[in-house]
Amino acid sequence: MEVEALLYEKLEKEVVKCNVCPRRCYVKPGTLGFCRVRQNKSGRLYTVSYGKLTASNVDPIEKKPLYHFWPGTVSYSISSFGCSLVCPWCQNWSISQAGPSDSGYGEVSPEQVVKAAKRYGCKTISYTYNEPLIWLEYVLDTAKLALKKVFSTCS
């Protein structure tokens, strides 16, 4: 499923400027931005990674970069392909440096993510293994749904 991006500007000759990350890519028609996730189709920017998960795991919260945040709980960790960064120490380079054509993924709706988090007893959902900014639309949709359906009852 491709979803129109939220943060971009339309420019001349169907070129768009992506504003989701600090790179501020100028994306020509038919091409992807640096992250390999945002594509210009006829002067409109789309996210081609929406709902395409490369990984889903139940991780201890202590594995996340959080200090004393619900210790002893688990987080439902999900990822997609692509990244706006190129960190030389990246442990997840096979995911983060992949694009839509060279990555294995499964189609998972925000509703399915929230149901899985609840089924596994996770108090949180982590958008991880790559830079979550580049799949902002999916992160927002999933987070809003999780807050409404599951996590509003957590304490």
Mean pLDDT of 15-28: 98
Let me know whether 43 and 56 are in one domain.
no
- What mean pLDDT do residues 65-83 have? 91
Spatial distance between the Cα atoms of 53 and 103, rounded to a whole number of angstroms? 10
132, 58: one domain: yes
The b-or-e profile of 104-135 (16+ CB within 10 A means b, else e) is: ebeebebeebbebbeeeebbbbbbbbbbbbbb
Domain that holds residue 77: 52-153
pLDDT of residue 100: 84
With beta carbons less than 8 A apart as the criterion, state whether 128 and 77 touch.
yes
* Whether 13 and 82 share a structural domain: no
Pairing of strands 8-10, 16-18: antiparallel
Do 72 and 38 belong together in one domain?
A: no
Q: Are residues 74 and 142 in the same domain?
A: yes
Considering the domain architecture, whether residues 37 and 60 belong to the same structural domain is answered as no
- Whether 56 and 43 map to the same domain: the answer is no
| 68 and 89 assigned to the same domain | yes
Residue 69: what pLDDT? Answer: 87
pTM attached to this predicted model: 0.91
**Alpha carbon 23 to its chain's center:** 17
Domain boundary at 47, 62, 79, which? 47
Point out the domain boundary residue: 47, 62, 82.
47
Query: Tell me: the pLDDT tens digits for 89-136?
Result: 999 998 899 888 887 899 999 999 999 999 999 989 999 999 999 999
Note whether 32 and 57 are same-domain residues.
no
Tell me, yes or no, whether 28 and 62 share the same domain.
Answer: no
Q: How many domains does the chain have?
A: 2
Mark whether 121 and 73 lie in a shared domain.
Answer: yes
**Are residues 76 and 23 both part of a single domain?**
no
